[in-house]
A and B are shown apart, each in its own frame.
Chain A
Amino acid sequence: MELSYEVKDSYAEIRAAGRLNMVSAPKLREFVADVVASGSSRIVVNLEDTAFMDSSGLGALIGCLKAARQAGGDLRIAAVQPQVRMVLELTSMDRVLTSYASAAEAFGND
């Protein structure tokens, strides 16, 4: 999985490209923790190029959400692809991890 980030006006956008599985999940946790530690706690994880996510990847996103909220911010996801949407729905975590059509819309109204 390739991870990169860009600080925008009111949030930091993290792009995660590849498979979010037990190999990459710890890397995502570490990456987001570093972004939060650098001062950005409003995070959008852009999943446009995340073709696959398993339960360890989902666990990492939940951990990152908690880290962002503990720092006073939030974590939202954008551009969710069909397999990731399926995992979110089957685990009912689509109620917890709010998804938006694009990264720009995720914090568009606050």
Chain B
Amino acid sequence: MTDALARRSFRDRATPEAIDSVHNQLDALWEDASFVPDMDRMTFATAVIEASANVVQHAVPESAAPVELGVDISIRETSLEARVSAFGAARPDSGETEPGMPGDDAESGRGLALIRALVTTVTFTRQDGTNVWILSRDSTPA
């Protein structure tokens, strides 16, 4: 794999305010990666924020220590990748959440389906007690 042309890393307590910090990092990232087309920036950023918000809302601490959110982004010429980690979180319930969209009246439950619609691949792994979602979007330089 080619070296990343731009990177950003974030790690902090998994609080709602952390989402705004991740978003600020994403906005700054595009200054280092101006070759990424607007459509790819918009879709990728939306997926990263959705996955981060999912950690803040749903991650359950494995011990007394609070869950931390980690976001590591690597931009390559033809791919955008984010590793969104829930440090110190318990293994999520087995059986993945239904990826379809909920009914029109529902006020939640669209995040996962939205992520799937926004990126090329989504994978989940549990490594050393950390839940990790890897989001990848193919990109064609403008």
Residues in A lying within 8 Å of B, measured CB to CB: 19, 21-23, 52, 54-56, 58-60, 62-63, 66, 82-83, 86-87, 90-93, 95-96
Q: Do A23 and B19 have beta carbons less than 8 Å apart?
A: yes
Distance A27 CA – B43 CA, assembled complex (angstroms):
25
Q: Do B17 and A23 have beta carbons less than 8 Å apart?
A: yes
Q: Mark B111-142, 1 if CB is under 8 A from A, else 0.
A: 10110011000000000000000000000000
Within the complex, the shortest CB–CB distance from A98 to chain B, in Å, comes to: 13
Distance A55 CA – B118 CA, assembled complex (angstroms):
13
Q: Do B42 and A59 have beta carbons less than 8 Å apart?
A: no
User: Given that A86-B42, A91-B114 are known contacts, is A55 also in contact with B17, CB under 8 Å in the complex?
Assistant: no
Q: Enumerate chain B residues within 8 angstroms of A58, measured Cβ to Cβ.
A: 110
Interface majority SS (helix, strand, loop, mixed), chain A: helix
Q: Do B20 and A19 have beta carbons less than 8 Å apart?
A: yes
Query: Using a Cβ cutoff of 8 Å, how many contacts connect chains A and B?
Result: 67
Question: Is B23 engaged at the interface, CB distance under 8 Å to the other chain?
Answer: yes
Distance A93 CA – B117 CA, assembled complex (angstroms):
14
Q: Do A55 and B114 have beta carbons less than 8 Å apart?
A: yes
User: Given that A54-B50, A66-B105, A93-B104 are known contacts, is A21 also in contact with B111, CB under 8 Å in the complex?
Assistant: no
Within the complex, the shortest CB–CB distance from B78 to chain A, in Å, comes to: 21
Q: Do A59 and B46 have beta carbons less than 8 Å apart?
A: no
User: Which chain A residue has the least Cβ–Cβ distance from B54?
Assistant: A55
Question: Is B106 engaged at the interface, CB distance under 8 Å to the other chain?
Answer: yes
Distance A60 CA – B108 CA, assembled complex (angstroms):
9
Q: Do A22 and B114 have beta carbons less than 8 Å apart?
A: no
User: Given that A62-B105, A66-B105 are known contacts, is A90 also in contact with B50, CB under 8 Å in the complex?
Assistant: no
Q: Do B16 and A83 have beta carbons less than 8 Å apart?
A: no
Question: Is B107 engaged at the interface, CB distance under 8 Å to the other chain?
Answer: yes
User: Which chain A residue has the least Cβ–Cβ distance from B23?
Assistant: A19
User: Given that A55-B108, A59-B108, A96-B104 are known contacts, is A22 also in contact with B113, CB under 8 Å in the complex?
Assistant: no
Q: Do A21 and B49 have beta carbons less than 8 Å apart?
A: yes
